[in-house]
Structure 1
Amino acid sequence: MKITAIKTFICHAYRTNWVFVKVYTNIDGLYGIGEATLEYKEHTVAQACHDLEGLLVGKDPHRIEEFWHLAYREGYWRGGAVLMSAISAIEMALWDIKGKDLGVPVYQLLGGKVREAIPCYANGWFAPAKTPDEFAEKAKQAIEIGFSALKWDPFGSSYLQISRKELNEALSCVEAVYDSVKHKADIIIEAHGRFDIPTAVRIGNALSQFDILWYEEPIPPQNLEGLAEVKSRVNVPVSAGERLYNRWDFKRLFELKAADFIQPDVSHAGGIMELKKIAAIAESFHIPFCPHNPSGPIANAATLQLAACVPNFYLLETMSSDVPWRSEISTENIQFEKGKMVIPDLPGLGIDINEKEIEKYPYKAQELRHYKGNLTDIRPENAKSYF
């Protein structure tokens, strides 16, 4: 069996554009699907996937580790979001091919299941809330669905520092959600790498009264030494890792004892096997593994395969709703029971894309919302559940 070509697809998804890759083989009907969704650099990462085609065509798709090593080595300027996202998408597509060819789900190729389902926490549940009361009501609705925790960023347009007024507004929102869900679910506070060290420490200690599950990315992601300092000075657990791109980035994080939970993304940190390696290192440090997972259906499918076979997998990030055409552009069929996603047993990743439907939703340029104060506009008015 040989690889013959790759093709990329970009699909508008309201807050971003999904980027899918399809790797073809010379066996009729046998191909693999991956996802490289990289917000606001969608065309760049799609081209990066095509740049790797020369390493693929004519090669055996079963030799996944060889592809990964060559793609990383031949990049020369190693690491970074674009190259690693392209490698990630193609790597998961190769696992999809391998599983389909052997007639087994990918998790069987990675050691087999350690669980049947994975507990989920919700992101996006708050849209389009603006006031503490609206957040509290949205939180109650999310808990009724079965989520075990809720995550959101309450910090508006703040960056590096935060005013007393803005901090009080953020804490009022946190308090309203905490009061509405306590004894039923945990809360997770996202900071999107916003703050300088003293501000992050001030906020982290203010959050301790709400017994939060974790405080996510309190400072910009490049400063792991600073993150370790924040972690040592606050009274709440700290998480990080969605903007680290391989095992070597995480090696530094572990050595510095900079986070209590880690959150690599299967679409950005090297793909399925690279995340399994990162999870194994985390396991040796007794750190829970909670991958970043806010993207499209293929990334979710790949993350579920990981969840099946990683012992220290703790919580799965899950978007509580999505654009209505998510169910049209793929064959995704999520079983969500008692707050958990059931691990599917279909061969490969267990999912495919619908090219004709994707064509109906062409690329639309989007802008980063994180520091503009409109993060709650993360979903369109007609958003709906996809599970």
Structure 2
Amino acid sequence: MKIKDVSCITVDNFRTNWVFAMITLEDGTVGFGESTLIGTEPAVAAMIEMWGARLVGESVFDVSVLQGRMRRESYWLTGPVMSAAISALDVAMWDAKARVLGVPVHTLLGGCARRPVPAYANGWYVGANTPKEFGEKAKQIVDKGFRALKWDPFGAAYRAMPRSGINLAMEHVDAVRSAVGKDTDVMIEAHGRFDVNTAIEIGRALEEFKVSWLEEPIPPGRPFEMAEVRRAVNVPIAAGERCYSRFDVQNLLKAEAVDFLQPDVVHIGGFTEMVLVNGLVESASLSMSPHNPNGPICHAASMHAAMAWPAVSFLEIMVTDVPWRREVADEACTFKDGCLEISDRPGLGVRIDLEQAKKHPYQMHQLRHFSGKLTQIRPPDAVAWYDA
């Protein structure tokens, strides 16, 4: 089945933009991909259009061959923008291929190893500032059925952090742990903030709270420094959302830098690359928890990977989103007792309404991670986008 057309649309999401890629086949079947790269979405969209034109006339059944060709012909390696574009195109081809065959994508990934999928909450803390407020919001989200949650308590810190700042961050962690009890998984995000010494100090301070992991304690691309942190603390280390190929993942594994891998299907190269990453993770007897704070196509793709591969432990989700997410996407996703489930529709199972999507055109958004405004990542009218 040959590819007839490739196009894309960029949709505002308040904190970033979704870039949807559409692969149309000669029989009219449409497959959807997505990439979300804060601050550079126009560049991603341009790359999708440029490389997508080269896919016209090719067979969608050759998706992995085509992904490999795009990587090869990029020549200057890939980097985040190129890899994001390749990811969107690759996921769209897998979606279209599965739709033509009349099966869910997880069937093509090896089958359904489990359903539903355990999820951990992100974005539950919107509007919180004090330890008390974080504790109250954490209790509320656990009362809604979540058994695991994650957040970044480090404000605007970068590289180093004063003793007073570390102490305040630990007060936040203490308040949340006290609010949710000892049976709830608590993950701490650092967004690649710290130098090695500061990361070690923070990791050791977290030990008493029995956190499930400390995520990206130092900037990405430094596997041996990450390994130094891992050896020095008694807290599991997670990383990988800013890996752009299986080789980045392999470097983390070779350095023995992580306990949990967090590749993002819309950054790393799509399903074609994720299949290879899953093999690396399985071979290392580690767990994978895909990075998944993005849009509806990314979520569906991550769900299919989590359903197919036992190496996946938790799946990250944002607990609310812009109200137009439900208008743009019919995701057929339900949440119950800490787990997510999606339908067995062919392909990814997501229906995108392009006319609704056009009502929310691209908006420029700046990164909030190091400005101290991270708790403002959702608008006041944000709502749950899944059925509960």
TM-score by length of 2: 0.98
Superposition deviation, residue 306 in structure 1: 0.6
2:300–2:348 CA contact under 8 A, matched in 1: yes
Matched, 1:14 2:14: yes
1:261–1:290 CA contact under 8 A, matched in 2: yes
Describe the SS at the equivalent of 1:56. coil
Which residue matches 1:251? 250
- CA offsets per residue over residues 286-330 of structure 1, 9 Å max, x none? 110100000000100111111111121100001011111100011
Gaps of 5+ in 2: none
1:189–1:212 CA contact under 8 A, matched in 2: yes
Which residue matches 1:270? 269
Superposition deviation, residue 343 in structure 1: 4.0
Q: 210-219 or 279-288, which moves further after superposition?
A: 279-288
Describe the SS at the equivalent of 1:91. helix
Letter in 2 for 1:14: F
Describe the SS at the equivalent of 2:139. helix
Distance 1:235 1:112 in 2: 36
Q: Percent identity?
A: 45
Distance 2:360 2:64 in 1: 34
Distance 1:111 1:373 in 2: 42
- CA offsets per residue over residues 177-196 of structure 1, 9 Å max, x none? 01001234111000000000
Which residue matches 2:116? 117
Letter in 1 for 2:202: I
Letter in 1 for 2:18: W
- CA offsets per residue over residues 320-346 of structure 1, 9 Å max, x none? 111111000111121112110114311
Q: CA RMSD in A?
A: 0.9
Distance 1:76 1:250 in 2: 20
Which residue matches 1:215? 214
- CA offsets per residue over residues 259-298 of structure 1, 9 Å max, x none? 0000000100011131121112111111101000000001
Mapping for residues 95-244 of structure 1, pairs under 5 Å: 95-244=94-243
Describe the SS at the equivalent of 2:367. coil
Letter in 1 for 2:66: F
Q: 155-164 or 1-10, which moves further after superposition?
A: 1-10
2:113–2:310 CA contact under 8 A, matched in 1: yes
Distance 1:112 1:343 in 2: 15
Distance 2:90 2:365 in 1: 27
Letter in 2 for 1:93: A
1:228–1:258 CA contact under 8 A, matched in 2: yes
Letter in 1 for 2:22: K
Superposition deviation, residue 53 in structure 1: 2.1
Mapping for residues 15-54 of structure 1, pairs under 5 Å: 15-28=15-28, 30-54=29-53
Which residue matches 2:59? 60
Which residue matches 2:4? 4
2:332–2:342 CA contact under 8 A, matched in 1: no
Letter in 1 for 2:4: T
Question: How many corresponding residue pairs?
Answer: 386
Describe the SS at the equivalent of 1:335. strand
Letter in 2 for 1:176: A
Distance 2:298 2:269 in 1: 12
2:153–2:188 CA contact under 8 A, matched in 1: yes
1:245–1:270 CA contact under 8 A, matched in 2: yes
Which residue matches 1:334? 333
Matched, 1:296 2:291: no
Distance 1:71 1:25 in 2: 19
Letter in 1 for 2:52: E
TM-score by length of 1: 0.98
Describe the SS at the equivalent of 1:324. coil
Superposition deviation, residue 46 in structure 1: 0.6
2:330–2:350 CA contact under 8 A, matched in 1: yes
Distance 2:179 2:198 in 1: 27
Q: 209-218 or 145-154, which moves further after superposition?
A: 145-154
Letter in 2 for 1:16: T
Distance 1:260 1:279 in 2: 14
- CA offsets per residue over residues 10-68 of structure 1, 9 Å max, x none? 1111111111110111113x111000111111000011111112320111111111111
